[in-house]
Chains A and B, each alone.
Chain A
Amino acid sequence: GNSVTQMEGPVTLSEEAFLTINCTYTATGYPSLFWYVQYPGEGLQLLLKATKADDKGSNKGFEATYRKETTSFHLEKGSVQVSDSAVYFCALSGAQGGSEKLVFGKGTKLTVNP
């Protein structure tokens, strides 16, 4: 079945450092890929998504590119801020275009220090 494996945390960075959180997936067909962010005590917010191979999702300085050849969707940001401290989840959905049930990775906790 479908599965998502993402980099184990926690990750601790200094402000303005470069961030990479690795995510790889196993899926049949052509899934859509997502990154969600969860701030303490809150629900999940969609950070970015990509629906087909070679698409790049981007939002708030974060980027991820859908790589079918390596089955990856790594999250990157060039310069993190303290306010980026949160848990980040990589996820996929089975239907093209998204929003059938989501399969999540275990999450990566990011702490950014001033």
Chain B
Amino acid sequence: NAGVMQNPRHLVRRRGQEARLRCSPMKGHSHVYWYRQLPEEGLKFMVYLQKENIIDESGMPKERFSAEFPKEGPSILRIQQVVRGDSAAYFCASSPPRNTEAFFGQGTRLTVV
């Protein structure tokens, strides 16, 4: 059973471009969480999704950021018109339906130049 897979591992974007980060949860996991880790900081919750539903997006910036978890395929975190302040490591975690332990992916490190 493969772990949580995130790709790409590293992503470089110029200011104003779009960034798409992908997360494939572990098999059997229908809950996905996205977190952002700024340099020298802990992880901050962004959004919690179940298949085809956003359950809690209280940590998402109001503009430019969106997330989805379609019925088929990976969860996508999309950042439009990136700015330098979006440079961070973005981690995805997944858990099975009954809210037990969450498993983390290796993260996508986004650099905006």
Main SS at interface, chain A: loop
Could you say which interface size class chain B belongs to?
20 to 34
Please state if B101 and A104 are interface contacts (CB–CB under 8 Å).
no
Q: Which residue of A lies closest to B95 (CB)?
A: A99
Could you say which interface size class chain A belongs to?
20 to 34
Q: Is B25 an interface residue (CB 8 A)?
A: no
Q: In the bound complex, how far is the Cα of B23 from the Cα of A99, in angstroms?
A: 17
Q: In the bound complex, how far is the Cα of B33 from the Cα of A43, in angstroms?
A: 14
Q: Give the chain A neighbours of B101 by CB distance below 8 A.
A: 46, 49, 98-99
Q: Is A45 an interface residue (CB 8 A)?
A: yes
Q: In the bound complex, how far is the Cα of B33 from the Cα of A2, in angstroms?
A: 18
Smallest beta-carbon distance A83→chain B, Å: 19
Please state if A106 and B42 are interface contacts (CB–CB under 8 Å).
yes
Smallest beta-carbon distance A29→chain B, Å: 15
* Segment of B12-20, B43-51, B71-79 engaged in the interface with chain A: B43-51
Q: In the bound complex, how far is the Cα of B44 from the Cα of A4, in angstroms?
A: 12
Q: Is B63 an interface residue (CB 8 A)?
A: no
Please state if B99 and A106 are interface contacts (CB–CB under 8 Å).
no
Smallest beta-carbon distance B1→chain A, Å: 16
Interface positions, chain A 55-114, Cβ under 8 Å from B, are 89, 95, 97-107
Q: Give the chain B neighbours of A36 by CB distance below 8 A.
A: 104
Q: In the bound complex, how far is the Cα of B103 from the Cα of A104, in angstroms?
A: 15
Q: Which residues of A contact B (CB under 8 A)?
A: 4, 36, 41-46, 49, 89, 95, 97-107
Please state if A99 and B91 are interface contacts (CB–CB under 8 Å).
no
Q: Give the chain A neighbours of B56 by CB distance below 8 A.
A: 101
Q: Which residue of A lies closest to B46 (CB)?
A: A101
Q: Which residue of A lies closest to B48 (CB)?
A: A101
Q: Give the chain A neighbours of B105 by CB distance below 8 A.
A: 43
Please state if B104 and A104 are interface contacts (CB–CB under 8 Å).
no
Q: In the bound complex, how far is the Cα of B103 from the Cα of A79, in angstroms?
A: 27
- 0/1 interface trace, chain B 92-112, chain A, CB 8 Å (1 if under): 010100111111111100000
